[in-house]
Structure 1
Amino acid sequence: MAALSAPWWLPGGHLQTIWRKLATAPTLIRQRQRIELADGDFIDVDRLPAGGDNKPLVFLLHGLAGCSASPYILAMQHTLHSAGYDSVAMNLRGCSGEHNRLAVAYHSGCSDDVEQVIAALMAAQPRPLVVIGYSLGANVLIKWLSETGFKPQLRAAVSVSNPFSLDLCCAQMKTGMAYWYGRYFLRRLRTDLQNKHADLVRQGVDDEVQRIQQLGPLDGLQTLWDFDDAVTAPLHGFAGAEDYYLRCSSRQFIADTPVPTLVVHSHNDPIIPPQSLPRADEMSSLVSCEILPFGGHVGFTSKGQNDWLERRILRFIEQSQLS
């Protein structure tokens, strides 16, 4: 496989990041499945069967403000389908185009939701499993790997552009060019919560409406840290943003990875500072860490090969089946 070499027209991390966001994604005919959760909420997943019953099922997790229709998810499912792998893309709570039923949403440590979805999939068809996570989804994935009861089914895992240290990433998005990424995420999260509140009011779900109203006004929130401290933390049982970041940052869980795991990251990621990444002595011997000079945040397009990332992940999955 060709080494990653940034195209002349995408020389920096910001451009590679934006390219992925705006990239043309393949059109896929997928099957939507709703999975009911123990707390009365639901998760929607999008399945793309390829007739690969003799191969592991590949499970994908999107990033912050993303969904199963994010270009990187569609591109990966397309590549997997072409190689004969069945895949399932999970929409985190409230990300499938329909507001979830409860005031709670998704966050960087929502590994219990992943466990419930995997349990439903394995109950319907037990089989080997490969998991891929991107950005926030990669953080959730590494945490889930350390906790899951489905370790015997796991064959491989892939973490792409994982923030690893949530506090450092949030601090990064308070200054410089990264500030605008933080503003984008803040605007998306605040709008999503306001729209869900209005939807719950229309439905007359008073208890859930009250839980959101108790958070107070959202207009004064200026940074992603502000949102996590005022909204994410209290909604999901954390004492504040600091407690949330401390308990959910996946850097502390990477040593417990139970299967061969590929970590793909770039030196020019505009959102994740280098000091966020785990040191070699913090990682399991099962982890292969590829820190590339180019790629941005979930970008990784290469000269003459826009699907470099998808090909790299597929090669890792196939090599894992031989070991």
Structure 2
Amino acid sequence: MIVVSEFRPHPLLRSPHAQTVFASVVRRPAPLDVRHERLELDDGDFLDLAWLPEPATAADDTPVVVILHGLTGSIESKYARGLLRELRGLGWRGLLMHFRGASHEPNRLPRGYHSGDTGDFATLLTRLRERYPRAPLAAVGYSLGGNVLLKYLGERGSRAPLTTACAVSVPFDLALCARAINQGLSRAYQRHLLGNMRRAAERKFAVVTPPFELPDLTRLRDFHSFDEALTAPLHGFDGAADYYARASSGPFLKDIRVPTLVLHARDDPFMSPDVVPDESRLSADVRLELAAQGGHVGFVAGDRLGRPVYWLERRIPAFLRERLTAAKAAEPQTECAPG
């Protein structure tokens, strides 16, 4: 269930920070045409979806792949655009689900999204199943989105409507990750993300009345203080510790019943190596491919000419294709009546 990854880093990008920064900052975004859809929710809020154009060869059983972005991510995230481009090449349907408030427009309710928020993803899958009753559904989650995906799969077990799934650079234990990213050079990532989170909160509560008096956001300088003051009370948790305990995906891994690939690097600068679960905590349906290097949603390899290769965009489609092909082959065949 835990195997050594085949990933090898680019010779000039061996450090975790080089891997992380090159993939998220230096890399040019993949050109991509998308169509936008607003999904209205029963509580009066909405989710914004970014779809690939309908494939020319689409059929009733063309796969649908949902991408879940990371913290402060969106359709502009380079990993999402890169994977969607690969899905387009396969002739599959693909979409990115923006968590509440993560698109260009603040969501309507005071609440937003968090690392354990599986309800909106479940709603989306229900709507997709109604729209495409014969299509296999798959999902790919990155970082926070990977945590949401694995937690959802564990909650639903064999009732999950997904045929297969993949999660990348997952913070399996949120409390450990909050401590790790508050140390050393990793604090630069925390500072960047918190800046995005503060600005999003300011935009949101300029148009939406907060349910309580907001603290001075400039004084929230680590994830724990931000989650204690904002994330937890906005989403019904009794403080940051309660949020971390209930939203972490680690305790749900044993209950996953969908073939799932987890890709992780031991040198991920967003967390420490001790967040990685051992085999006793994994379901037999989970394959954890563990790389010594790769950073956080990095995994930048090189070709023979030294050009960067975004390895995740090779490994993930290969796994999805393998599992979807196996699932199709296992379907009972309808026999034609004689005569």
Pairing 1:41–2:40 present: no
Pairing 1:215–2:214 present: yes
Q: How does 1:1-323 map to 2 (within 5 A)?
A: 3-22=6-25, 23-48=27-52, 49-50=54-55, 51-53=57-59, 54-126=61-133, 127-148=135-156, 151=159, 153-200=161-208, 209-211=209-211, 213-304=212-303, 306-323=309-326
SS in 2 for 1:88: strand
Higher-Rg structure is 2
Query: Match of 1:120, as an amino acid?
Result: R
- CA 1:25/1:150 → structure 2, altered by over 3 Å: closer, same or farther? farther
Return structure 1 stretches of 4+ with deviation > 4 angstroms: none
- CA 1:266/1:317 → structure 2, altered by over 3 Å: closer, same or farther? same
CA–CA separation in structure 1 for the residues paired with 2:231 and 2:220 = 12
Aligned residues: 313
Query: Deviations along 1:65-102, whole A, 9 cap, x unmatched?
Result: 11122000000000011011111110111111111111
Percent of aligned pairs with the same residue?
A: 38
TM-score by length of 1: 0.93
- CA 1:151/1:88 → structure 2, altered by over 3 Å: closer, same or farther? farther
Query: Match of 1:4, as an amino acid?
Result: F
Query: Deviations along 1:175-232, whole A, 9 cap, x unmatched?
Result: 10111111111111111101111133xxxxxxxx141x52332222121110001100
Unaligned runs of 5+ in 1: 201-208
Q: How much has 1:320 moved relative to structure 2?
A: 0.7
Query: Match of 1:310, as an amino acid?
Result: E
Asked if the contact 1:228–1:241 (Cα under 8 Å) also holds between the matched residues in 2, the reply is yes
Asked if the contact 1:4–1:303 (Cα under 8 Å) also holds between the matched residues in 2, the reply is no
Query: Match of 1:113, as an amino acid?
Result: D
- CA 1:194/1:150 → structure 2, altered by over 3 Å: closer, same or farther? farther
Q: How much has 1:148 moved relative to structure 2?
A: 4.0
Query: Match of 1:172, as an amino acid?
Result: A
Unaligned runs of 5+ in 2: 327-339
Q: How much has 1:150 moved relative to structure 2?
A: 8.6
- CA 1:152/1:215 → structure 2, altered by over 3 Å: closer, same or farther? closer
Asked if the contact 1:185–1:224 (Cα under 8 Å) also holds between the matched residues in 2, the reply is no
Query: Match of 2:108, as an amino acid?
Result: R
CA–CA separation in structure 2 for the residues paired with 1:149 and 1:270 = 31
TM-score by length of 2: 0.89
Q: How much has 1:128 moved relative to structure 2?
A: 1.4
Query: Deviations along 1:38-63, whole A, 9 cap, x unmatched?
Result: 21110001111324433321111000
- CA 1:266/1:66 → structure 2, altered by over 3 Å: closer, same or farther? same
Asked if the contact 2:164–2:320 (Cα under 8 Å) also holds between the matched residues in 1, the reply is yes
SS in 1 for 2:130: helix
SS in 2 for 1:194: helix
- CA 1:294/1:270 → structure 2, altered by over 3 Å: closer, same or farther? same
Asked if the contact 1:138–1:161 (Cα under 8 Å) also holds between the matched residues in 2, the reply is yes
Query: Match of 1:320, as an amino acid?
Result: R
CA–CA separation in structure 1 for the residues paired with 2:100 and 2:66 = 16
CA–CA separation in structure 2 for the residues paired with 1:290 and 1:39 = 39
SS in 2 for 1:123: helix
- CA 1:221/1:107 → structure 2, altered by over 3 Å: closer, same or farther? same
- CA 1:162/1:180 → structure 2, altered by over 3 Å: closer, same or farther? same
Asked if the contact 1:61–1:133 (Cα under 8 Å) also holds between the matched residues in 2, the reply is yes
